[in-house]
Amino acid sequence: MASLRDIKTRINSTQKTKQITKAMHMVSASKLSKAEQFAKAFYPYSDKIKEVVSSIAGSAQDAENPMLQSREVKKTAYFVITSDRGLAGAFNSGVLREVYRTIQKRHQSQDEYTVIAVGRMGRDFFKKRGIPVLKEITGLSDQPNFADIKDLTSETVQLFIDEEIDELVIFYNHFISAISQEVTSKKLLPLTDLTEKSAGNSTSMYEYEPNQQEILNVLLPQYAESLIFGALLDSKASEHAARMTAMKSATDNADELISDLSLQYNRARQAAITQEITEIVSGASALE
């Protein structure tokens, strides 16, 4: 049975842990609010560039661009967004498990795929398992700007244009609410469904200068890059929400543990006092 000193030490240790998890919960709640604002502020740009690109792709029947055309898939790139730190519940493990399962199911050789990793947790996961990581980026801020990943997104899109990869699939956590995030996978390239989705959705009329083809060649890479950046903002909001929930759960568990330990301490202390009283009474009786 644990001594009173051991129980008291565990209570003090748990109380200190609770202070840390409670502080992390409050910090994550603040970061979540800002991340949601960043993601919502990006929606108007994302929606507008999609409308314009869809309009051009749908109206220019003779427009040709490699980003709009499917080809035989010889190599797939998986763009995986995770966090740099843990203590976020199943935020990272859910995405990494889904990516790993997909790779094991679809590919027989490492020549058939590669990974582009955002976040230290994902990068370390793949490297430990010998999975090829073509590009990586870590240390992004909690509210990243497009400039932070511009080089990575442009290089990733260029890989498809240069036919070094034939398909780009992104994996990330989609933010639903503060207590709910969903592991999501999307095929970003090629943009084969762009014209179908745009049919009849836009009522705006555009005039193009110099011509639709040249504008499309410029906008399509920007549109693909915006899809990646939008997924990153979505993932950041999910990360803060997942960490907030995990820290709230840890704080509640600490409270429960402190309560149980306090009850155990009081019972042990009561037993010790009773034992001392019994020994005193027995000693006094022996002297009579």
Residue carrying structure tokens 């969903």: 182
Q: Residues 87-93: contacts with CB within 8 Å, 24+ apart?
A: 87/24, 87/243, 87/246, 87/247, 88/239, 88/242, 88/243, 88/246, 89/242, 89/243, 89/245, 89/246, 89/249, 90/242, 91/173, 91/181, 91/238, 91/239, 91/242, 91/243, 92/119, 92/121, 92/122, 92/125
Averaged pLDDT in 10-residue chunks for the chain of 288 residues: 82 93 93 89 86 74 74 93 91 94 93 94 94 93 90 92 93 91 92 59 63 80 91 94 93 93 87 79 69
State residue 288's pLDDT score. 62
DSSP SS3 for 71 = coil
pLDDT of residue 16: 94
Report the distance separating Cα 17 and Cα 249, nearest Å: 13
Q: What is the pLDDT of residue 46?
A: 85
Q: Are strands 180-189 and 167-177 parallel, antiparallel or unpaired?
A: antiparallel
pLDDT of residue 268: 83
Domain 26-245, CATH number (from 3.40.1380.10, 3.40.50.920, 3.30.70.100, 3.40.50.300): 3.40.1380.10
pLDDT in tens, 150-164: 999 999 999 999 999
Residue 159 C-beta-side C-alpha neighbours within 13 Å: 26
Instruction: Please tell me the predicted confidence (pLDDT) of residue 219.
Output: 86
Q: What is the DSSP letter of 67?
A: G
